[in-house]
Amino acid sequence: MEYYHNELDMLDKAKVLDSVKKNLQNVANVNSGFDLERRIKAQELIDNWKSTIGAPPIAAESDMNKFNKKFIEDLYKLLNDNLNKKIRSEFQNIKGDVEKIRCQMEKIDSAVKSLEQKNNTEG
């Protein structure tokens, strides 16, 4: 009887640990909605699961490769978006500078024409 009681306790503990592992996997999932810091921490716990709990790690190598690939893609997208924002901002600044130069050129052209007309009427 004691054997079965111990087995049930072990099964309950195993269920709790399985639930914890599944929750960690959900947090570490790239599409989980959790911020990057929490996803990385969850993945670290998963990676160290064997040494911490004494069970095999949850994440297979292919899952880790998917995580790393998605992480790199997210990072690239973030950097690319920030770069595009900076480029758009600089383009707007240059566009404004070009417009100022165009206005100054028009004023110079107008002044030159005015001087030419004045010289033509005097001469």
- The alpha helices in 31-60, defined as continuous H runs, are 36-47, 49-53
Contact 70, 30 (CB under 8 A): yes
Task: Please report the pLDDT score of residue 107 as a whole number.
Answer: 94
Q: Quick one: pLDDT band at residue 7, thresholds 50, 70, 90?
A: low
DSSP class of 29: S
Is residue 101 scored above 90 in pLDDT? yes
| Domain locations in the chain as residue ranges | 1-59, 61-123
Question: What's the confidence (pLDDT) of residue 9?
Answer: 62
Which residues, including other chains, have CB under 8 Å from residue 71's CB and lie 6 or more apart?
30, 36
Q: What percent of the chain has pLDDT over 90?
A: 15
* Distance separating alpha carbons of residues 106 and 123, to the nearest angstrom: 25
Tell me the pLDDT tens digit for each residue of 64-85: 777 778 888 888 888 888 888 8
pLDDT at 109: 92
Cα 54 versus chain centre, distance: 34
Look at residue 106 in the predicted model and tell me its pLDDT.
Answer: 94
- What are the phi and psi torsion angles at 100 (to 5°)? -65, -45
Residues 27 and 42: beta-carbon distance below 8 Å? yes
| Distance (Å, whole) CA 18 – CA 37 | 23
Helix (H, G, I), strand (E, B) or coil at 122: helix
